[in-house]
Structure 1
Amino acid sequence: MPNLISIPPEPLLQAAESALPKGLGLGWEVVPGTVGLGESGDRLAIRWEDREKIYQLVVRRIHRAEDLGRIKASRPPAEDFLLLTPYLTENLARKCVELGIPFLDGAGNAYLTAPGLRILQVGEHPKPDLLTACVPRSFRPYNSKGLQVLFTLLSAPALTNATYRDLAKASGVARGTVGMVLNDLLEAGLLADLPGGRVIIHFQRLLEAWVANYPQKLRPRLGPMKFRMAIPQDWRSVDFASIDAFVSGEAGGDLLTANLQPMGARIYTRQPFGKIAAALRLRPDPRGTIELLERFWDFPNPKAIPPGVAPPLLVYTDLIASGEPRNLDIARIIHETYLNPPGTGS
């Protein structure tokens, strides 16, 4: 997913004004507005001769034509909006014209049309200083700590409206991290702060992003260590809850679906790994099929989840990340059974 982070409009407008040809008779002013879903809420009043047109500002970095199509599709048909961006290539600028998207960029490329006004300028070269100044920060819900917050929102929907303190405790992060992650989700239009409370707007999109980012960004930070069983045992007979552990991977998938003969397991715990290894009769082995990791969440599972099984999103992700074809059908069953947006049921 792209970095959907707000860029201040003023530097871009100043750059556009200095780059456009003189004598156009244009003037503009940013009109602050209320915060909307994924937008600053700001509007841009453009004036020429004795006329004025007010646009809703959409401030974005554009990398490909699909970005323009997504913006166009997401706006109400009757809304007058203007794209403000650091730079558009000539091909992207002409795509804007084709889609009927008015735009300004910091290089002086522009497309504006209204009664008595038509400006089309494309092919201007970017300004490196401006592009550097407008490089967005990373999308914090997808860094390691942000993924912990996102995991809580997706796995425990009842906590979506919790206080920052409670969300921080459930996610294992600082309160400041919770605030930054929620702000990024709000700015990206992935979370809405409505009168009735916070609502996840794109549940499946966020779920897919969590699944894609967890193996590379969060899992390596959980101190994973591999083991093998000293004595074969039936995972279904293990009381994971009694040893303060949560099972995932193939063993977790079997406990959720009763439809898999597990060859391995991932076990999350806050206990010393040596204590868990002793309880389960495990031996260290870098090529073992059992992996111990630090537990990073602190909220209860729904009653439908067997005690000692990790939240279904984590079981699903571990199965997908295994790369084993036999695990994909089990992952699909878990997705269909447990990973539904709040209020939609199975």
Structure 2
Amino acid sequence: MRASVAAPDPLVISATQAFSVSAGVATSVMPTRPGTGYDSTVEFKLDPPVRRVAVVVPSIDRQERLSALAATGGLHDAQHVLLVTSYLSPALVNACRSLGVNAIDESGNAFVKDGNTLVLISGRPRATELRRPSLWSKRSLQVILALLVRPALLHESRRTIAMFAGVSTGTAHTTVQTLLQRKDLIERGDGLAFTNFDRLLDEWVTLYPSLLRESLKLGRYRATEPNWWTDMLASNDEWMLGGESAAALMT
């Protein structure tokens, strides 16, 4: 029985096409062998040809995130890995060069180095057309975190996933379906399963600072009467004290 071959990620297809146009170098995208943790290999028709397995990260907007991704995702292995993303600013292309990260984007910007062969394209404007639905949003990050910290949810209903993640059932369903389309999840007889837990975790950690962290910060408030809480010491399980007030009661 022959195992089915997953279709390449749409972002890989659009980025390689953009590279061919901007660099004048033909490319081809091929599936990788099952079990490698990568869904496609990109070949650049240089002399000699250059092959890299593709690591897809939909969005990178800061050099710090690129550095973190290079450290956690193994992108420093320039002889093996190609970062594929939606857009690389001139600063990010320069960072790729400094870090030794081979990368291409949907606008035709690129840094590809192999031995004495170097292709560096920078400054092309961001592509305006949306070629693929985005998985990464605040709510989807919450769903993915729920699945990462509690993998048993992969065997539960979308409603249960939504309740644990604190999102709507529709958001949970859409996120899970997108993960299935991206081949981050696969369906088995007893439920869903991760195809590469570590890769998805690295991608989540990379995007968390800019997409989710700010929205989780709690507000800070000041009462007109500092000791307002002393009148609320009756036993009540509908509220809890924290911070200095709780410490004062305990000590």
**Residue 55 of structure 2 is aligned to residue 58 of structure 1:** yes
**Residues 1:152 and 1:41: Cα distance change in structure 2 (over 3 Å):** closer
Deviation of 1:211 (Å): 6.6
**Residues 1:36 and 1:178: Cα distance change in structure 2 (over 3 Å):** farther
Which residue in the other structure is 1:16 paired with? 19
> Could you tell me which amino acid in structure 1 is paired with residue 22 of structure 2?
A
Which residue in the other structure is 1:137 paired with? 134
| Alignment deviations for residues 107-165 of structure 1 (CA, whole Å, 9 cap, x no partner) | 443333335x6133334431x5x24425863734x23x875x578669x9485444124
Which residue in the other structure is 1:288 paired with? none
CA distance in 1, matches of 2:242, 2:179: 30
> Could you tell me which amino acid in structure 1 is paired with residue 242 of structure 2?
G
CA distance in 2, matches of 1:158, 1:122: 41
SS in structure 1 at match of 2:242: helix
Which residue in the other structure is 1:94 paired with? 94
CA distance in 1, matches of 2:90, 2:212: 34
Which residue in the other structure is 1:42 paired with? 40
Deviation of 1:185 (Å): 7.8
Deviation of 1:167 (Å): 2.6
**Residue 27 of structure 2 is aligned to residue 28 of structure 1:** yes
* Count of residue correspondences: 212
Deviation of 1:68 (Å): 2.4
CA distance in 1, matches of 2:150, 2:96: 39
**Residues 1:201 and 1:75: Cα distance change in structure 2 (over 3 Å):** closer
> Could you tell me which amino acid in structure 2 is paired with residue 8 of structure 1?
L
SS in structure 1 at match of 2:55: strand
TM-score, normalised to structure 2, is 0.59
Larger radius of gyration: 1
> Could you tell me which amino acid in structure 2 is paired with residue 54 of structure 1?
R
8 Å contact kept, 2:27–2:42? yes
**Residues 1:233 and 1:159: Cα distance change in structure 2 (over 3 Å):** farther
CA distance in 2, matches of 1:135, 1:185: 13
8 Å contact kept, 1:152–1:159? no
**Residues 1:158 and 1:234: Cα distance change in structure 2 (over 3 Å):** farther
CA distance in 2, matches of 1:150, 1:48: 39
Which residue in the other structure is 2:172 paired with? 178
Which of 239, 244, 247 is residue 259 of structure 1 equivalent to? 247
Gaps of 5+ in 1: 1-5, 217-228, 241-245, 263-346
8 Å contact kept, 2:60–2:88? yes
Deviation of 1:57 (Å): 1.1
CA distance in 2, matches of 1:138, 1:97: 28
| Alignment deviations for residues 1-58 of structure 1 (CA, whole Å, 9 cap, x no partner) | xxxxx7622122222212224xxxx432112245887xx6322122334x43321113
**Residues 1:260 and 1:164: Cα distance change in structure 2 (over 3 Å):** farther
Which residue in the other structure is 1:110 paired with? 110
8 Å contact kept, 1:110–1:119? no
Which of 158, 163, 171 is residue 156 of structure 2 equivalent to? 163
Deviation of 1:86 (Å): 4.0
TM-score, normalised to structure 1, is 0.45
8 Å contact kept, 2:16–2:28? no
**Aligned-residue RMSD, C-alpha:** 4.7
CA distance in 2, matches of 1:163, 1:18: 45
CA distance in 2, matches of 1:36, 1:75: 14
| Alignment deviations for residues 86-122 of structure 1 (CA, whole Å, 9 cap, x no partner) | 443333322222221223334443333335x613333
CA distance in 2, matches of 1:47, 1:10: 15
8 Å contact kept, 1:19–1:106? no
**Residues 1:193 and 1:212: Cα distance change in structure 2 (over 3 Å):** farther
Which residue in the other structure is 2:119 paired with? 120
Deviation of 1:72 (Å): 1.7
> Could you tell me which amino acid in structure 2 is paired with residue 53 of structure 1?
V
Gaps of 5+ in 2: 1-8, 185-191, 219-227
CA distance in 2, matches of 1:173, 1:157: 16
Which residue in the other structure is 1:213 paired with? 215
8 Å contact kept, 2:11–2:106? no
CA distance in 2, matches of 1:131, 1:75: 28
CA distance in 1, matches of 2:107, 2:145: 40
The percentage of counterpart residues that share the same residue type is 19
